[in-house]
């Protein structure tokens, strides 16, 4: 029942509302990349100088994601989620009307505030309104738009620039999606609240925001020519501030990012294993379109359309993931499926002009299928041991690391590609350089197996409905047969 006493809406309704908001946010994060040359020409600047418009959005996410859970507890999940969509829409409209780069950067920062509140609070809405037995299916439904959004970004951006002849429509497409979301949130989402500490952790907010902002900005700069040392310096300062935050959080009862959550086995293991895997997930959308354009000679629109294969695989995994987790349990699926997910991405590094396009398309479908199952598992098992009064803190913590590692994945892919070019003496990336980059991030993803094996066989049984077959249960099953012989 909701707070008004009305029947609770079906979990798919809640999941699709949350998923639609995440789709809008994720689409906006990647749709801009293919439009940068067109934007640069109209605004009278070079395309590389517009990277600050992308970075300002990431910094805004880093600054505001940690406080999102606390804000939702104080004002209510529905109020904050709805307000986040409104802020995101206002930022989008401002971006569409930007007369210069400075205005665009500020507008993207405002847009990032909405996105920062939208992602963790959307997940919080899901966790507070869906029963544990339905959580796998709900997470699977949410994961589809969250995965499809960044993959659709490049082809949508290419289509708009090519056929509508104006990059400003890229931001206007958020308006109808956001308006529908505002109406649906008002109708179906309960305004749940949590307990709010009496004292606000201002020192923790300052340290965490500066640390995460500098880490993301530093990662961004390390992939730019001539800014590597500055990027390293920012990373060093960000790491020092992060260490200071950890010391602060250990002495503060209600720290803004609750690091004590890492002591919970399923949450801590999911954060670490998921973070390692997300490096690969972040690198893939960067490396694949680049290889398709530079290596295969495809246009931005054509290369973007090829990436749709991953989205198809993610959608195909939706009905399969709950069945697999129920049949085999979280631990075994994450261990075995993680190998196939990493292998699929590694196989993309072997693409060559001699490969038939349909074969490459199928490989990408399979890669998206396995990776979608992997993240359905991580995003669900993380909350197995979280009590309702800590749910807001858990969603803020988890989403912060998720965003950080996806951004790190882009930088890791770029760094691996650049290193391969330097070692092999190439001025432009060759197929062998892409192979090395793909294999590097795939090995990182495969290393998550070490952490996946730390999950208990009983982890998430209440969520999945899986009954582990241990030695003792097999003995109990066999014993009556012996007595009756």
How confident is the model over 104-142, as pLDDT tens digits?
889 989 998 998 888 777 777 777 777 777 777 777 677
Burial readout 142-176 (b: 16 or more C-beta within 10 A, e: otherwise): bbbbbbbbbbbbbbbbbbbbeeeeebbbbbbbbee
Tokens of 181: 């979301």
Examine the domain organization and report whether 233 and 335 are in the same domain.
no
Examine the domain organization and report whether 237 and 180 are in the same domain.
no
pLDDT band at 164 (very low <50, low <70, confident <90, very high): confident
Alpha-carbon separation of residue 275 from 167, 196, 364, 400 (angstroms): 33, 28, 22, 10
483 in a structural domain: no
Domain of 170 in residue numbering reads as 1-197
Q: Looking at the 3D structure of the chain, how many domains does it have?
A: 3
pLDDT band at 475 (very low <50, low <70, confident <90, very high): very low
Among the candidates 253, 269, 299, a domain finishes at 253
Q: What gap in Å lies between CA 69 and CA 393, rounded to an integer?
A: 6
Q: What gap in Å lies between CA 483 and CA 485, rounded to an integer?
A: 6
Examine the domain organization and report whether 30 and 153 are in the same domain.
yes
Percent of the chain with pLDDT over 70: 86
Examine the domain organization and report whether 407 and 268 are in the same domain.
yes
Examine the domain organization and report whether 22 and 159 are in the same domain.
yes
Cβ atoms of 213 and 62 within 8 Å: the answer is: yes
Average pLDDT over residues 287-298: 82
484 in a structural domain: no
Examine the domain organization and report whether 264 and 247 are in the same domain.
no
What's the predicted TM-score (pTM) here? 0.73
Examine the domain organization and report whether 245 and 278 are in the same domain.
no
485 in a structural domain: no
* Cα–Cα nearest to 348, from 283, 445, 444, 438: 438
Among the candidates 172, 197, 222, a domain finishes at 197
151 in a structural domain: yes
pLDDT band at 309 (very low <50, low <70, confident <90, very high): confident
Examine the domain organization and report whether 128 and 15 are in the same domain.
yes
| pLDDT tens, residue by residue, 378-436 | 988 998 888 877 887 888 788 778 777 877 787 788 778 888 888 888 888 889 999 99
pLDDT at 221: 74
277 in a structural domain: yes
Examine the domain organization and report whether 234 and 279 are in the same domain.
no
Write the CATH number for 10.
1.20.1250.20
Examine the domain organization and report whether 7 and 95 are in the same domain.
yes
Examine the domain organization and report whether 295 and 245 are in the same domain.
no
pLDDT band at 1 (very low <50, low <70, confident <90, very high): very low
- State whether residue 256 is helix, strand or coil: coil
Examine the domain organization and report whether 347 and 421 are in the same domain.
yes
| pLDDT tens, residue by residue, 73-100 | 788 888 888 999 999 999 999 999 988 8
């Amino acid at each position: 029942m909701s707070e008004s006493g009305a029947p609770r809406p079906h979990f798919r309704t809640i999941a699709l509302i949350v998923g639609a908001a995440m789709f809008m946010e994720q689409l906006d994060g990647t749709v801009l990349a293919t439009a940068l040359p067109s934007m640069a020409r109209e605004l009278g600047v070079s395309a590389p100088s517009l990277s600050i418009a992308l970075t300002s959005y990431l910094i805004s996410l880093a600054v505001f994601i940690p406080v999102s859970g606390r804000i939702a507890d104080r004002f209510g999940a529905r109020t904050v989620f709805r307000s986040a969509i409104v802020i995101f829409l206002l930022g989008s409209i401002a971006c569409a009307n930007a007369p210069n780069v400075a205005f665009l950067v500020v507008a993207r920062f405002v847009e990032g505030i909405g996105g920062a509140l939208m992602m963790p609070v959307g997940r919080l809405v899901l966790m507070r309104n869906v029963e544990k037995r339905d959580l796998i299916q709900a997470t699977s439904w949410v994961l589809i738009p969250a995965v499809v959004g960044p993959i659709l970004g490049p082809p949508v951006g290419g289509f708009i620039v090519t056929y509508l002849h104006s990059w400003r429509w890229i931001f206007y497409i958020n308006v109808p999606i956001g308006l529908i979301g505002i109406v649906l949130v008002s109708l179906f989402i309960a305004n749940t609240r949590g307990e709010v500490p009496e004292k606000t952790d201002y020192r923790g907010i300052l340290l965490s925001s500066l640390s995460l902002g500098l880490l993301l900005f530093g990662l961004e700069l390390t992939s730019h020519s001539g800014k590597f040392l500055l990027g390293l310096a920012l990373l060093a300062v960000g790491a020092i501030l992060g260490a200071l935050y950890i010391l602060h959080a250990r002495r503060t009862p209600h720290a803004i990012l609750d690091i004590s959550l890492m002591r919970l086995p399923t949450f801590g293991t999911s954060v670490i294993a998921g973070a390692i895997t997300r490096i690969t997930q972040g690198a893939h959308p960067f490396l694949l379109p680049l290889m398709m354009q530079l290596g295969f000679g495809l246009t931005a629109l054509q290369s973007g359309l090829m990436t749709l294969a991953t989205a198809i695989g993610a959608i195909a995994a939706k009905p399969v993931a709950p069945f697999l987790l129920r049949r085999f349990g979280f631990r075994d699926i994450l261990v075995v499926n993680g190998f196939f997910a990493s292998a699929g991405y590694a196989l993309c590094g072997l693409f060559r002009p001699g490969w038939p396009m349909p074969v490459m398309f199928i490989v990408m479908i399979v890669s998206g299928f396995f990776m979608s199952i992997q993240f359905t598992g991580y995003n669900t098992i993380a909350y197995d041991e979280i009590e309702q009064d800590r749910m807001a803190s858990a969603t803020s913590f988890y989403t912060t690391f998720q965003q950080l590692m996806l951004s790190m994945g882009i930088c890791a892919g770029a760094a691996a590609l650049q290193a391969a070019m330097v070692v092999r003496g190439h001025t432009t990336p060759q197929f062998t350089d892409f192979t090395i980059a793909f294999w590097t991030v795939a090995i990182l993803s495969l290393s998550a197996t070490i952490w996946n094996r730390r999950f208990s066989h009983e982890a998430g049984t209440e969520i999945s409905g899986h009954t582990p077959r241990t030695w003792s249960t097999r003995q109990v099953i066999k014993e009556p047969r012996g007595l009756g012989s």
